């Protein structure tokens, strides 16, 4: 039996597979993966380069956001099946990008995949995003106030706190675009002005992980918004204890040396018994006072319990100290620090 020969209805070629009486090439010509030109508009923040994408401002690499946008657009416009979309920006100026779009797909599910190329035109508009607007207007919504009780923050504490803040801000920025510092004032303590109360709280918590601090939050009503809802400014206060590492403190008449402050724990050495106690900001007695004493260096001349003879290394005067307990680390010939408080000599632990 003779089989009727078939030919492509457009180009007349004889092929193995026909799609609606057409060869693959002719079918593709009549059914491009995209039948409408690709035209997109994007808005970029001229301050921070954030891009307005899917109804929100996102920070990210323009090319990868363009790829996501164009992918969505291609899938929306195409009547065929899209397997992959790649782009490369071929021309760019401030207000327009020309992008070569390579689409892999097929017009019908019974076809092999093939590649098509299109040019996309992306119009760029520049604006200022809401976060940058708030920064420009210095519209802080929260203040993180770092203070120490009854004293000033030491330079070392300030430095460390700013480091913690910087690390935490970088972490928060990955999830929250308004994790931005508007301003830092360094007067009585640190005042860190922020755009969000949540960011202030997160920073306070991060500081508290390292310093034994108490956190208090206060609100101040600024105004009512258009709908009559209160707009308030939140102050998150982080209060460090009235002493820092290396200080001598008085707790109910007994002197302690602040050996270490780490992860919220304060290590105190009793300067009469040399026993160590651990407290936190919450368990540290309210009456704890920093005593201002001058630390002096001494050479240990001799130890005849309970008397220790010490040579002052600045004045070369020898003094005798009566210590109810001789700590193990006190050795003849060793150098130590001691303080004179109300006529009594206290030897500080190394």
The footprint of Zn ion (CB under 5 A) covers 8, 10-11, 23, 26, 45, 47-48, 50, 129, 132
Nearest distance in Å: CB 212, Zn ion: 37
CB 122 to Zn ion: min, Å? 19
What's the closest the beta carbon of residue 129 comes to Zn ion, in angstroms? 3
Q: How far is the CB of 29 from Zn ion (least distance, A)?
A: 8
Would strands 307-312 and 296-304 be described as parallel, antiparallel, or unpaired? antiparallel
H/E element holding 171?
helix 155-173
The minimum distance between CB 22 and Zn ion, in angstroms, equals 5
CA distance 72 to 77: 9
23/240 with CB nearer Zn ion = 23
| Strand, helix or coil for residue 173 | helix
Q: What is the CA radius of gyration of the chain?
A: 36
CB 270 within 8 A of CB 177: no
Of 177 and 193, CB closest to Zn ion: 177
Structure tokens at 87: 């782009």
DSSP-assigned states of every residue in 94-142: SSEEEEEEEEEEESSTTS--EEEEEEEEEEEEEE--HHHHHHHTT---E
Cβ distance to Zn ion smaller for residue 8 or 165? 8
| CB 97, min distance to Zn ion, A | 19
Q: Given the complex with Zn ion, which of 193 and 290 has the nearer CB atom?
A: 193
Q: Which is nearer to Zn ion, 47 or 260 (CB)?
A: 47
Nearest residue (CB) to Zn ion, 87 versus 135 = 135
Burial class (CB in 10 A: 0-12, 13-18, 19+), 99: buried
């Amino acid at each position: 039996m003779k089989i009727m020969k078939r030919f492509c209805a457009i180009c007349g070629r004889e092929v193995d597979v026909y799609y609606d009486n057409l060869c693959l090439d002719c079918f593709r010509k009549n059914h491009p993966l995209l039948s409408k030109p690709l035209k997109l508009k994007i808005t970029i923040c001229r301050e921070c380069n954030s891009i307005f994408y899917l109804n929100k401002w996102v920070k990210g690499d323009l090319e990868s956001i363009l790829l996501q946008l164009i992918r969505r657009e291609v899938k929306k416009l195409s009547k065929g099946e899209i397997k992959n979309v790649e782009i490369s920006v071929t021309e760019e100026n401030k207000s327009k990008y020309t992008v070569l779009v390579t689409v892999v797909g097929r017009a019908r599910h019974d076809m092999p995949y093939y590649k098509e190329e299109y040019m996309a035109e992306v119009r760029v508009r520049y604006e200022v995003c809401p976060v940058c607007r708030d920064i420009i207007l210095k519209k802080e919504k929260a203040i993180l106030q770092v203070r120490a009780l009854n004293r000033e923050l030491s330079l070392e504490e300030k430095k460390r706190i700013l480091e913690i803040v910087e690390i935490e801000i970088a972490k928060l920025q990955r999830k929250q675009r308004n994790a931005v510092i508007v301003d830092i004032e360094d007067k009585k303590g640190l005042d860190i002005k922020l755009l969000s109360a949540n960011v202030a709280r997160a920073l306070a918590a991060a500081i508290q992980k390292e310093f034994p601090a108490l956190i208090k939050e206060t609100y101040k009503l600024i105004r009512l918004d258009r709908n009559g809802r209160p707009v308030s400014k939140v102050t998150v206060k982080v209060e460090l204890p009235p002493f820092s590492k290396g200080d001598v403190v008085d707790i109910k008449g007994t002197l302690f040396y602040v050996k270490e402050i780490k992860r919220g724990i304060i290590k105190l050495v009793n300067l009469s018994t040399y026993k160590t106690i651990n407290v936190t900001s919450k368990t540290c007695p309210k009456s704890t006072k920093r005593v201002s004493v001058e630390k002096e260096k001494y050479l240990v001349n001799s130890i005849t319990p309970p008397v220790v003879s010490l040579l002052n290394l600045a004045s070369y005067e020898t003094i005798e100290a009566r210590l109810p307990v001789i700590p193990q680390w006190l050795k003849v010939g060793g150098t130590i620090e001691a303080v004179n408080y109300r006529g009594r000599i206290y030897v500080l632990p190394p």
